[in-house]
Amino acid sequence: MLPARVSISIPAWPVPVSRTARSSVSCDSQQITAARCVPPSPACQTIGVALRGPHRQGVKDVPGSALKEHHVADEPITSPDQRKPENIKLTRILVIVGSLGLLSMVLGNHQGNVENLWLVGLAASGLGWVVIDWVLRRNGLR
């Protein structure tokens, strides 16, 4: 029996937009990290970690380091519809050829019909995917 409180986390849908650049946090006189600001330590000053504020004496700037100001408006945004499109013609051809190959296996020398059901079912699902994808792309829904 399950406990009284059972929570199931559901992933967000549609797919959230992913950021391609590293986020920067503006903290005065603190060490910049990806998630939070922590106070600077002497060890960080000796190895040259990007620090801000008056305590940066003796730390040299490294080209391309995190000292550069980043603004959210300057960061590129990629969403699922901006990715490189797949080769749909090749995919359709391969699915159709694979479905025909599965249907050709029905003519083999086996005794039962369970194999026939699986072969026909898999071939029909592949051809069904091709038809549904074609209709969705024709109507501009995909």
Q: List pLDDT tens digits, range 86-137.
A: 889 999 999 999 999 999 999 987 788 899 999 999 999 999 999 999 999 8
**Does one domain contain both 59 and 99?**
no
For residue 126, count other CB atoms closer than 10 A to its CB.
19
Determine contact, residues 5/25, Cβ cutoff 8 Å. Answer: no
Q: What is the mean pLDDT of residues 50-66?
A: 53
Please report where in the chains the tokens 């960080």 appear, as a residue.
44
Indicate whether 74 and 108 sit together in one domain.
no
Look at residue 67 in the predicted model and tell me its pLDDT: 58
- Residue 94 and residue 87: Cα distance in Å, rounded? 11
Please tell me whether residues 28 and 62 are part of one structural domain: yes
List the beta bridge partners of residue 38. 31
Domain extent for 58:
15-82
Q: Within 10 Å of residue 40's Cβ, how many Cβ atoms?
A: 20
Q: Which amino acid appears at position 53 of this protein?
A: G
Same domain assignment for residues 100 and 131: yes
Q: At residue 51, does pLDDT exceed 60?
A: no
Total tally of structural domains belonging to the chain: 2
